[in-house]
């Protein structure tokens, strides 16, 4: 029922957009949501109100960075389970005028206070890492935007103050996380003001968050890191055995980094670098380039098996090499080189499963994340992914501020070597906001939530676009698989949206030895892709029916 409600919601959004932006669909493949077509600007996000906020900024003369920052603040209000100013993120930016790409790392980091030997809880103040969202969005705006912080925050302020209608998706998340939230009285006052969880159709208001956002608009990011909000966060941490203090907040900095770069069948792929997962995507694509997957057929068991083999090899490096560049040397150029990928792919057999790869836990990271993509009339592009880690993060909200805090410290659990915990260190995750270029021109901006499914999902989306010539909506709605660890026949599990694949190909996977976890409808487990592609000066936007995604263009 929840999935059906999400689809109906998305259809209503698509019908609304048809009148102002025009709609196109692929005639030979049916999609639930039609593509949105526009010429001047486009925003794709996980919520229609956030997409609308970004579109308003574009129409007011803002560029893609202005719009992305506005959308990011707004999505933190209307999708509070997945993101917010108590969280973190990463963005990748393309500036057409100078034909340059860059990325901004605003990942959270561990407190500077040493807690070596700690096993980090899933909830509570001890689970919280130093938030980076405000610093990262402010840096992007200052360096590459054209509007003031007050201008781009205003839509989010309005949404927090006036409230918004709770969707079936959000209502389901609130209900599912109600027990976790009960330990924090202030969080309960926001998502369950009557003592019962808000339901679909109810209005969620967060006036305290509106006040916090106004403070940031007036005083800049200092309000969050050294001012009134910093004091409130530090005081709440001290009162509940948290590690974060005033020094942690004051010394936090967003970092501009050289993106991870690769080439796939003539397309330039630009994604987020260490300590996150963009290089895994590039490495997977480099391995796939050794094979003609178009000839294999989109729905073939052989292609799905190849993807499982490729992704397992990519994720080896996630566990063994990736880490915070301030603490470990991460050889990004080597990791994304074609020669390295060719060497890793040499042992792949299309008719046999590899057994030599160590099992990793597919649920070792949480999947409460969100993504947005923006293109402006000048041809600038942004891909931005933000998260709280788990749904509602640490299930901690700071009294009087409306701010919900992340639980990113759990990403250090069970990690060794380059990914191991250290005070002040940024933890690894697989988020991978990604841009794709062709012949020096912008082609696509893409991303998804989904924890360990992020890289597999984006690998499939990019190959759908490049190898199978799908439109963006068709590429998003196409069936997905997930498998990043191989234990041999009878032991390796592949998750697959089986109802969309031919039964005979599913049977072939079982013959190869895969244990299948089958989904009988498009499932949020596989992420929620938001994306835009540009062809001959026209923008085509796609939103994922697996989530409350919406595309707005003009």
User: What topology is assigned to 257-364+450-529 in CATH?
Assistant: Serum Albumin; Chain A, Domain 1 (1.10.246)
**Per-residue pLDDT at 91 exceeds 70:** yes
Give pLDDT, residue 369: 87
What value does the CA radius of gyration of the chain take, rounded to a whole number of Å?
22
Give pLDDT, residue 100: 93
| β-strands 203-204, 255-257 pairing | unpaired
Instruction: State mean pLDDT over 381-391.
Output: 95
Give pLDDT, residue 361: 38
Give pLDDT, residue 25: 30
Per-residue confidence band for 120, with pLDDT thresholds at 50, 70 and 90:
very high
Instruction: State mean pLDDT over 305-312.
Output: 95
Per-residue confidence band for 500, with pLDDT thresholds at 50, 70 and 90:
confident
**Per-residue pLDDT at 393 exceeds 60:** yes
Active-site positions read 369
Whose tokens are 């792949």? That residue is 348
**Per-residue pLDDT at 24 exceeds 50:** no
Per-residue confidence band for 2, with pLDDT thresholds at 50, 70 and 90:
very low
CA end-to-end distance (rounded Å), the chain: 33
Measured distance CA(38)–CA(24) in Å, rounded: 10
Instruction: State mean pLDDT over 359-377.
Output: 68
Of 199-208, 381-390, 411-420, which range is least confident? 411-420
Give pLDDT, residue 549: 87
Can you tell me whether residue 438 is helix, strand or coil? strand
Give pLDDT, residue 26: 34
Measured distance CA(449)–CA(548) in Å, rounded: 12
**Per-residue pLDDT at 367 exceeds 60:** no
Measured distance CA(526)–CA(547) in Å, rounded: 10
Per-residue confidence band for 34, with pLDDT thresholds at 50, 70 and 90:
confident
Whose tokens are 């939103």? That residue is 543
Q: What average pLDDT does the chain have?
A: 91
Of 20-29, 59-68, 135-144, 237-246, which range is least confident? 20-29
Instruction: State mean pLDDT over 439-458.
Output: 93
Residues of the chain with CATH 1.10.246.130: 257-364+450-529
Measured distance CA(29)–CA(474) in Å, rounded: 7
Of 210-219, 395-404, 446-455, which range is least confident? 446-455
For residue 256, what are its two tokens? 């501009």
For residue 524, what are its two tokens? 């949020």
Residues in the chain: 554
The backbone region for 423, taken as left when phi is positive above 0, alpha when psi lies in -120 to 50, beta otherwise, is beta
**Per-residue pLDDT at 9 exceeds 50:** no
pTM for the full predicted model: 0.91
Give pLDDT, residue 368: 67
pLDDT digits (tens, 9 = 90+) for 248-267: 999 999 999 999 999 999 99
Per-residue confidence band for 363, with pLDDT thresholds at 50, 70 and 90:
very low
């Amino acid at each position: 029922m929840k999935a059906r409600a999400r689809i109906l919601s998305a259809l209503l959004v698509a019908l609304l957009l048809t009148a102002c932006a025009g709609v196109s669909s692929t005639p030979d493949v049916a999609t639930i949501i039609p593509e949105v077509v526009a010429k001047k600007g486009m925003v794709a996000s996980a919520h229609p109100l956030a997409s609308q906020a970004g579109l308003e900024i574009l129409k007011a003369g803002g560029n893609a960075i202005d719009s992305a920052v506005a959308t990011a603040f707004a999505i933190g209000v209307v999708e509070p389970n997945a993101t917010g100013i108590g969280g973190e993120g990463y963005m990748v930016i393309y500036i057409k005028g100078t034909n340059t790409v860059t990325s901004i790392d605003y990942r959270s980091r561990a407190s500077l206070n040493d807690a070596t030997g700690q096993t980090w809880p899933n909830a509570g103040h001890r689970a919280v890492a130093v938030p980076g969202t405000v610093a990262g969005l402010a840096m992007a705006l200052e360096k590459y935007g054209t509007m003031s912080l007050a201008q781009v925050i205003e839509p989010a302020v309005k949404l927090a103050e006036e409230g918004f209608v709770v969707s079936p998706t959000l209502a389901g998340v609130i209900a599912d996380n109600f027990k976790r939230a009960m330990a924090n009285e202030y969080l309960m006052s926001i998502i369950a003001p009557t003592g019962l969880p808000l339901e679909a159709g109810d209005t969620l208001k967060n006036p305290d968050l509106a006040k916090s956002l106004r403070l940031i608009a007036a005083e800049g990011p200092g309000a969050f890191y050294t001012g009134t909000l910093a004091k409130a966060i530090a005081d709440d941490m001290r009162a509940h055995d948290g590690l974060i203090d005033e020094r942690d907040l004051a010394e936090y900095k967003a970092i501009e980094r050289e993106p991870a770069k690769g080439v796939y069948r003539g397309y330039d792929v630009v994604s987020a670098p260490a300590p996150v997962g963009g290089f895994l995507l590039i490495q997977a694509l480099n391995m796939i380039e050794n094979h003609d997957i178009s000839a294999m057929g989109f729905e073939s068991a052989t292609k799905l098996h190849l993807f499982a083999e490729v992704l397992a090899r990519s994720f080896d490096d996630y566990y063994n090499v990736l880490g915070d560049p301030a603490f470990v040397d991460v050889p990004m150029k080597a990791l994304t080189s074609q020669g390295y990928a060719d060497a890793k792919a040499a042992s792949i057999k299309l008719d046999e499963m590899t057994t030599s790869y160590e099992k990793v836990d597919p649920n070792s990271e949480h999947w409460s994340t969100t993504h947005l993509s923006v293109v402006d009339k000048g041809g600038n592009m942004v891909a931005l992914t933000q998260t709280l880690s788990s749904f509602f993060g640490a299930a901690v909200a700071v009294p009087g501020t409306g701010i919900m805090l992340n639980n990113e410290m759990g990403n250090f659990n069970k990690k060794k070597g380059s990914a191991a915990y250290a005070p002040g260190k940024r933890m690894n995750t697989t988020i991978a906001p990604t841009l794709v270029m062709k012949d020096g021109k912008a082609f696509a901006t893409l991303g998804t939530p989904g924890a360990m499914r992020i890289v597999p999902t984006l690998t499939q989306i990019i190959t759908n676009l490049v190898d199978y010539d799908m439109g963006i909506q068709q590429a998003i709605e196409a069936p997905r698989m997930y498998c990043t660890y191989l234990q041999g026949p009878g032991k390796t599990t592949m998750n697959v949206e089986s109802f969309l694949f031919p039964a005979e190909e599913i049977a072939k996977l079982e013959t190869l030895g895969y244990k299948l976890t089958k989904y009988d409808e498009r499932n949020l487990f596989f992420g929620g892709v938001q994306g835009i592609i540009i062809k001959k000066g026209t923008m085509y936007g796609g939103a994922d029916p697996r989530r409350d995604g919406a595309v707005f263009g003009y």
